[in-house]
Structure 1
């Protein structure tokens, strides 16, 4: 229960802090570039927070599912009793546990991502996550919330495998005395490693999930940002939903390799900051809520227990 509470709070805090930059990332991924600027412009003062409602609620549930799933999977792989410390887990098991829990998050992440991305690329002052959600429900039902679900599940599984692997490996290599500083630095590194490993998949996912706004009978059709409309659909076939593979080929044909990394550096900066805060807050709350599991690096484990195995 402690990991559920800690991860939910940490996840919500991370999304709130990182949403303005995420708006820029998503708009750049869909081809939104404005004259005189290398990033997507904000139309109003509320634009940096477009699409925040779905991630705040969804990411809290996602983070809880992710961390609880990871902890239980790692306990199983390491043959460790429930709620007991794992001072030196195998990094291979860490990656597998992260990948398994990441794949399970697809149930929450796919609907959250499609609502968030569509809210962020609509060019309409009254657009909100709730209106996008209602629009999807009216036109395509439950199935619409899982549009692009395969590439989303693949992205989450690979990405979260590297997420936990990079976090544990970074903690080992740094060997810092302060638990808070260690969590901040290792969390930031883990976030950057994760996004670097799956960024092209994320670009494809974003294109797939936002393409249906053009000529697909959506209630808010025609409200995309003008520059995003010029970019989508990539294959020039209006009114026809394209799959991930078609978008992958289309990106390469129209933009080359650079197209797979649109908004990459914005994402890197956001990832370091957001994941540093999320991990530090999560570890802090876990130490307060469940000291039996986390223990103290100085009091619970000796130097011989602080290594990791491959």
Structure 2
């Protein structure tokens, strides 16, 4: 009898995980389609070289970057979309699956469906670490392909980029910048899911409603707030990550010897503002992209539960 209960429990957990994965995939697709143009602008601003004395920067500001990118055609804003569409869909499904598992784990441990603040943060941070196994190479490839101008493309697309890097530098080349990606994901997703779940839990308690009864417009606001909760604390780390991932692969072509060296050189050459290149594009992106991600996830989960 006890073994039967264990089997039922495992089957139930597997079904819940599959639901979270499906909901996360839907959320991830929405995230990429809404966010890719913002990401392209952000990466180009982050990775543009420091201007030489007496010369203007490649992009003077966010609007200038948008204007110059638009000259390459509308498709330039969606360069490298195939990789994130597949990869980010997988990443977001992993994030929601891990957070869903952690939420149920802590709920059983607390004998209360509402988690404490530290538990909410740890749930998101754990999801970020697991997610980084896929997000690291996905963002590396997306960063390289979205940065290059249409007129002078070294990589014809994401697949070509992967082939060229792997053939020359192996799996370590694909996972370039992985350590700083893990640091960003831990803090970023800790704050991300903490903000969203905290606001959602508070609404459920104050309104005495179940998760699937919370108004959709509130989910949009909570998702937008989660985006800011993620990006504001980790943006300087993301800038360094982008610079490391677009740096050369060999000692002869590499500009930065290490993560610390990158931090030092950015500060020395550009000052504190160097860590906030593309910040405006990121903040504009944060609200619509993450609002759409969470709403798509929640609506997908509600649809599944009705089947």
Give TM-score scaled by structure 2 length: 0.80
**Residues 27-106 of structure 1 aligned to structure 2 (within 5 Å):** 27-31=44-48, 33-34=58-59, 38-39=64-65, 41-42=68-69, 43-79=72-108, 87-106=113-132
Consecutive unaligned residues of structure 2, counting only runs of 5 or more, are 1-17, 50-57, 208-212
Q: CA RMSD in A?
A: 2.4
Partner residue in 1 for 2:248: 212
Kept in 1: contact 2:223–2:295 (CA 8 A): yes
1:206-242 deviation digits (Å, cap 9, x = unpaired): 00000127xx49xxxxxxxxxxxxxxxxxxx744553
Partner residue in 1 for 2:257: 242
Aligned equivalents of 2:299 and 2:112: distance in 1? Answer: 17
1:197 Cα deviation from its structure 2 partner: 1.3
Aligned equivalents of 1:139 and 1:200: distance in 2? Answer: 30
Kept in 1: contact 2:256–2:262 (CA 8 A): no
Kept in 2: contact 1:98–1:161 (CA 8 A): yes
Partner residue in 1 for 2:10: none
Partner residue in 2 for 1:23: 40
**Equivalent position to 1:114, from 130, 140, 160:** 140
Matched position secondary structure for 1:196:
helix
**Equivalent position to 1:266, from 271, 275, 281:** 281
1:33-55 deviation digits (Å, cap 9, x = unpaired): 33695425212332101121111
1:220-275 deviation digits (Å, cap 9, x = unpaired): xxxxxxxxxxxxxxxxx744553211111111001111011111111011111000
Kept in 1: contact 2:103–2:123 (CA 8 A): yes
Aligned equivalents of 2:305 and 2:95: distance in 1? Answer: 18
Aligned equivalents of 1:20 and 1:138: distance in 2? Answer: 29
Partner residue in 2 for 1:198: 234
**Equivalent position to 1:156, from 185, 208, 211:** 185
Kept in 1: contact 2:104–2:113 (CA 8 A): no
Aligned equivalents of 1:3 and 1:172: distance in 2? Answer: 18
Matched position secondary structure for 2:90:
helix
Partner residue in 1 for 2:25: 8
Aligned equivalents of 1:163 and 1:98: distance in 2? Answer: 7
Give TM-score scaled by structure 1 length: 0.80
Kept in 1: contact 2:87–2:135 (CA 8 A): yes
Aligned equivalents of 2:286 and 2:248: distance in 1? Answer: 28
1:7-51 deviation digits (Å, cap 9, x = unpaired): 101101211111011100001001263369542521233210112
Consecutive unaligned residues of structure 1, counting only runs of 5 or more, are 218-236, 293-310
1:74 Cα deviation from its structure 2 partner: 2.5
Count the aligned residue pairs. Answer: 268
Kept in 2: contact 1:170–1:189 (CA 8 A): no
Gap change, CA 1:255 and 1:2, over 3 Å in 2: same
Gap change, CA 1:291 and 1:246, over 3 Å in 2: farther
Partner residue in 2 for 1:229: none
Please state which structure has a larger fraction of its residues in helix: 2
Kept in 2: contact 1:251–1:259 (CA 8 A): yes
